Amino acid sequence: MKVLLELRKSKEWTQEELAQRLKVKQGTISQWEQGERTPSLMALRKIGCLFGVTVSYLLGETKGDGDDAVRTDHEKEQCKLS
- pLDDT for 29-80, tens place per residue? 999 999 999 999 999 999 999 999 989 999 988 776 555 556 555 455 567 6
Kindly state the average pLDDT of the residues 12-17: 98
CA distance 55 to 38: 13
Mean pLDDT throughout 4-8?
Answer: 97
Cα 49 to Cα 68: distance, rounded to the nearest angstrom: 14
User: What is the model's pLDDT at position 28?
Assistant: 98
pTM of the model: 0.80
Residue 25, number of CB atoms within 10 A of its CB: 13
Q: Given this model, what pLDDT does residue 79 score?
A: 72
pLDDT score for 77: 54
pLDDT at 61: 86
